[in-house]
Chains A and B, each alone.
Chain A
Amino acid sequence: SQTIHQWPATLVQPVGSPLSLECTVEGTSNPNLYWYRQAAGRGLQLLFYSVGIGQISSEVPQNLSASRPQDRQFILSSKKLLLSDSGFYLCAWSVEEHGEQFFGPGTRLTVL
Chain B
Amino acid sequence: TQLLEQSPQFLSIQEGENLTVYCNSSSVFSSLQWYRQEPGEGPVLLVTVVTGGEVKKLKRLTFQFGDARKDSSLHITAAQPGDTGLYLCAGKRRGSNYKLTFGKGTLLTVNP
Contact = CB atoms under 8 A, between A and B. Distances in A.
Interface of B: 30-31, 33, 35, 37, 39-45, 48, 50, 86, 88, 90, 92, 98-100, 102-105, 107
Given A51-B98, A102-B45, 10 more contacts: A42-B86, A42-B104, A43-B102, A49-B99, A94-B98, A98-B31, A98-B33, A99-B90, A99-B100, A103-B35
B100 A106 contact: no
A46 interface: yes
A98 B29 CA distance: 10
Contacts of A51: 98
Contacts of B86: 41-42
Given A100-B33, A108-B40, A41 B107 contact: yes
Contact of A101 (B30, B45, B50, B104): B45
A94 B50 CA distance: 17
A49 B100 CA distance: 11
Interface string A12-38: 000000000000000000001000000
Interface residues of A, number: 22
B42 A105 contact: yes
A103 B41 CA distance: 9
A44 interface: yes
A104 interface: yes
A81 interface: no
A98 B37 CA distance: 20
A49 B98 contact: yes
A50 to B, nearest CB: 9
Given A98-B92, A105-B42, A42 B105 contact: yes
B33 A106 contact: no
Contacts of B40: 106, 108
B42 A98 contact: no
Contacts of B31: 98-99
A105 B38 CA distance: 10
